[in-house]
Amino acid sequence: MTASAKKYCEELYQRVVNRNAHEPEFHQAVQEVLESLVAVLEKHPEYMELGIVERLVEPERQIIFRVPWVDDTGRVQVNRGFRVQFNSAIGPYKGGIRFHPSVYAGIIKFLGFEQIFKNSLTGLPIGGAKGGSDFDPKGKSDGEVMRFCQSFMTELYRHIGQDADVPAGDIGVGGREIGFMFGQFKRIKNAYEAGVLTGKGLTYGGSLVRTQATGYGLVYFMDEMLTAKGMSLAGKTVLVSGSGNVAIYATEKVQQLGGKVVAMSDSNGYIYDANGIEVAAVKQIKEVERRRISEYVKQQPSAEYHPGCEGIWSIPGDIALPCATQNEIDDNAAKTLIKNGCQAVGEGANMPTTLAGTKLFLENGVLFAPAKAANAGGVATSALEMCQNSMRLSWTFEEVDTKLKTIMANIYQNTSKAAEEYGHKNNLVVGANIAGFVKVAEAMKAQGLV
C-alpha cells in the first residue's frame, strides 16, 4: 500500500470523526469502508483528486423535524423525525424508516451510508438514504401508531417522491406503519403515487416476496457462498438472533434448504429448541400477537427460554445469522462462536458485528458474509416493487423470488471477484465495499462536482 492512499484515508476518517462528534456507529461504518478502499485509491488516484470519497462521506441532505401527536389519554407527545439523503448518484434515494427509542442522527447516518453500497451492489438504479424516529411502537395502540405515522408523514411528504426518495420499512416499521404513512401521503398530495413507498400491502401496490425478501435473500447469499466452498446448508445447525421480519424468514428459508435453526431471540432473551424452531409458532407470537419470544415455550414445552439475548451466541452451532441489531456480536461473542466450531456467519441485520468481531472471524477462517451484501435482498425487492408500480403490473411470487435469488447470486459473485481483483481473496467485507463503491464513484465522476 502506498503511503499517500493510506494516509489520505486516515486523515479523512479523522475529519469525519471531528465533524460528526458523538456518532460512534457512523464512525464505525466509515472506518470499515475507508480501510477497504486503500487499494482502489492506489489504482484510481483520480477518485482522490476529484474529492469523490470526501463527498461520499458527507450526506447530500439531512432533515430533522418535530413529530407531535396525541396518545390515547389525550396527552400531547413529541418525538423527533429524521431523513438523511446520502447519495443519489445512481438513482433516487432509497432506504428504510426505523422507529425505535435508540434512533438519533448517528444511527440514521450510519444506516444511510451503508445503504449507498448495499443499493449499488443490487445492480439496480437506487441511491442511499435512511430515515426514522425515536418513537417506540411497542405497547402502542393502533390508533396511537396511526396518529404518529400521520404526523410523521405530514412533514416527510415534502422531501420524498417516487423519482426523488423512496422510503421503506425497517425496525419498528412494518406493513401497518407503511399503510398509515402511505394513506397520509396520498391524502396530502391528492395523487396516487404508488411508487413513493415500498413494503406496501398487496391490495395497494405491494409486491409478493417483499415480506420474506431480506431473510430469504440472506440465506440465498449464504447458500451461494457455502456452495462456492464445497459446503451446504443441509444438515447444519443454525443460530438466528432476532425474531422480527428478517429472522423469521431467514429461519423459514434455512429449514426449506435442509438446515435446522435451534435458537432465536428478542431484546429480552432467547429461546433454544433442540428439535428445531417451529416457525409458525414464532410468526403467530410476533406477527399476529406482537408478544415476546418467551411465549414460545408455552407452546413448545420442550424448548428453553433464557433471559439476556446476548447468551444466544454461547450455543454451539455451525452457522450464525445475526438478524437483530447493530453490534450484537462483539469480540467476546465472536471468540465463543469460533471456539464452538462456527463455520460461517451471515449478517442479516445492519452491521451486527463489531470491527473487532469481524477481524476475529476473518483471521480464524470463518466464512463471513457482510450485511451490505448479505442483507441486500430487502432493498432489491423494494426496487422490484418500484418496477411493478411504474409498469402498473404485479408479478407472481415465483417471478419475484427467482429475480431475488439471481440478484443475491450476482452480489456474491461480484463481491468475491472484487475482493480477489484487489488482493483480498475470500474477504467479502473488502469485496462488498469495493464493488459497491466503484459503481457509485464512476457515476459521481461522470456527473461533475455536485
| CATH number of the domain enclosing 323 | 3.40.50.720
Q: How far is CA 398 from CA 194, 216, 379, 395, in A?
A: 22, 13, 18, 8
Verify that 302 and 224 share a domain, yes or no. Answer: yes
C-alpha cell at 338: 469460533
Verify that 254 and 307 share a domain, yes or no. Answer: yes
Q: Which helix (H) or strand (E) holds 420?
A: helix 397-421
Tell me which residue range forms the domain holding 15. 3-57
Task: With beta carbons less than 8 A apart as the criterion, state whether 351 and 323 touch.
Answer: no
Q: Is residue 432 part of a domain?
A: no
Verify that 37 and 137 share a domain, yes or no. Answer: no
Going by C-alpha positions, the residue among 388, 399, 349, 384 that lies closest to residue 369 is 349
- CATH code of the domain in which 72 resides: 3.40.50.10860
Residues of the chain with pLDDT under 70: 1-3
Q: Is residue 387 part of a domain?
A: no
**Segments in 266-354 forming alpha helices (H):** 279-283, 296-299, 331-339
| pLDDT digit string, tens, across residues 350-377 | 999 999 999 999 999 999 999 999 999 9
d(CA 25, CA 326): 8
Task: With beta carbons less than 8 A apart as the criterion, state whether 82 and 133 touch.
Answer: yes
Verify that 106 and 52 share a domain, yes or no. Answer: no
Verify that 236 and 276 share a domain, yes or no. Answer: yes
Verify that 115 and 242 share a domain, yes or no. Answer: no
What phi and psi, each to the nearest 5 degrees, are found at residue 50? Answer: -90, 0
Q: Is residue 425 part of a domain?
A: no
Please enumerate in sequence order all residues whose Cβ is within 8 A of that of 188, keeping only pairs 6 or more positions apart, or say none: 153, 154, 157
Verify that 146 and 53 share a domain, yes or no. Answer: no
Task: Among 159, 193, 227, give the residue marking a domain's end.
Answer: 193
* Helix axes of 331-339 and 355-363: crossing angle, nearest 10 degrees: 30
Q: Is residue 353 part of a domain?
A: yes
Task: Among 369, 399, 432, give the residue marking a domain's end.
Answer: 369
Q: What is the pLDDT, as a whole number, of residue 1? A: 44
Verify that 162 and 110 share a domain, yes or no. Answer: yes
Verify that 185 and 218 share a domain, yes or no. Answer: no
Q: How far is CA 284 from CA 169, 170, 203, 253, 353, in A?
A: 20, 20, 22, 17, 29
| pLDDT digit string, tens, across residues 144-155 | 999 999 999 999
- How many structural domains are present in the chain? 3
Q: Is residue 318 part of a domain?
A: yes
**Torsion (CA) 199, 203, 207, 213 in degrees, nearest 10:** 50
Q: Is residue 399 part of a domain?
A: no
Q: What is the pLDDT, as a whole number, of residue 94? A: 98
Verify that 176 and 289 share a domain, yes or no. Answer: no
Q: What is the pLDDT, as a whole number, of residue 3? A: 61
Catalytic residue among 94, 109, 118, 130: 130
Q: Is residue 14 part of a domain?
A: yes
Verify that 243 and 332 share a domain, yes or no. Answer: yes
Contacts by residues 413-422 (CB-CB < 8 Å, ≥ 24 positions apart): 413/224, 414/121, 414/123, 415/121, 415/373, 416/228, 422/39, 422/40, 422/43
Confirm whether 130 is a catalytic residue: yes
E strand residue ranges, 236-318: 237-241, 260-265, 269-272, 304-307
Task: Among 349, 369, 389, give the residue marking a domain's end.
Answer: 369
Verify that 362 and 233 share a domain, yes or no. Answer: yes
Please enumerate in sequence order all residues whose Cβ is within 8 A of that of 225, keeping only pairs 6 or more positions apart, or say none: 344, 346, 367, 369, 412, 428
Going by C-alpha positions, the residue among 150, 225, 177 that lies closest to residue 431 is 225
Q: Is residue 172 part of a domain?
A: yes
What phi and psi, each to the nearest 5 degrees, are found at residue 417? Answer: -65, -45
